[in-house]
Structure 1
Amino acid sequence: MVMMLLFVFTIGVFAQDAAGNFSAGTKALTTATEEIAKYVPIVVKLCYAIAGVVAVVGAITVYIAMNNEENDIKKKIMMTVGACIFLIAAAQALPLFFGVTNV
């Protein structure tokens, strides 16, 4: 019983000793945030490029489906448009997560 109490209080003392100085962790998080923010404009442009490729491939798929007189053309159109809208919305929302204003 005494050993268990001694173990618990020892862990508490270690936690109290290291809890006063957060400058290293704060500095590391700030550096990581700045480095990630540098990639945001590139990722936004990549999302737009992927949306363009999805639109072209979707248009070709819909064209082929219309020529073959398939029944699920509406579904293919809606899936293509939905994917493009999602990618564009994600590209617009991404800078807001990292506080980047000059994209």
Structure 2
Amino acid sequence: MKTIADRLAATALLVLAATQASAQGDGAAGITEATQMVTSYFDPATQLIYAIGAVVGLIGGVKVYNKFSSGDPDTSKTAASWFGACIFLIVAATVLRSFFL
């Protein structure tokens, strides 16, 4: 007569064998499908990053204008940081797109 431990071990082996058998299907097709799904998101994501860069540029322009109008001596530093943020967003989107596609 089998004990509970023997039955659990046999069940675990059967589950493991079934998992291995189903995992050996067409893995290349799954990888290809996943690659196509990920690359299909790059164009909308790139456009979104460009739009975010434009909004950041507009907000930065308004902030720099306000500082310039009020005579703040810190205007050039603020302008450089906002301009750098916009350039980073645009360059990062372009580089990531060209690197992964």
Q: By the TM > 0.5 criterion, same fold?
A: yes
| Cα shift at 1:58 | 0.3
- The number of residue pairs the alignment matches comes to 97
| Aligned mates of 1:80, 1:90 — CA distance in 2 | 15
Single out whichever of 66-75 and 36-45 deviates more from structure 2. 66-75
* Offset, 1:22: 8.0
Aligned to 2:41, the other structure's residue is in SS state: helix
In structure 2, the residue corresponding to 1:70 is in which secondary structure? coil
Could you list the runs of 5+ residues in structure 2 that have no partner in the other structure? 1-23
Percent sequence identity over matched residues?
35
Q: Secondary structure of 2:73's partner? A: coil
Q: 1:56 aligns with which of 55, 58, 69?
A: 58
Q: Which structure 1 residue ranges, 5 or more long, are not aligned?
A: 1-20
Counterpart of 2:45 in structure 1: which amino acid? V
**Aligned partners of 1:56, 1:83: CA distance in 2, in Å?**
12
Provide closer, same or farther for how the CA distance between residues 85 and 22 of structure 1 changes in structure 2, counting only shifts above 3 A: farther
SS in 2 for 1:51: helix
Compute the TM-score of the two structures, normalised by the length of structure 1: 0.68
Q: How does 1:3-42 map to 2 (within 5 A)?
A: 23=26, 25-42=27-44
Give the one of 73, 80, 83 matched to 1:81.
83
- Judged with a 3 Å threshold, the aligned counterparts in structure 2 of structure 1 residues 30 and 70 are, in CA distance, closer, same or farther, namely same
TM-score (norm 2): 0.69
**Which amino acid in structure 2 is aligned with residue 33 of structure 1?**
T
The structure that has the greater radius of gyration is 2
2:92 to 87, 90, 103: 90
**CA pair 22-75 structure 1, distance change in 2 beyond 3 A:** farther
Structure 2 counterpart of 1:12? none
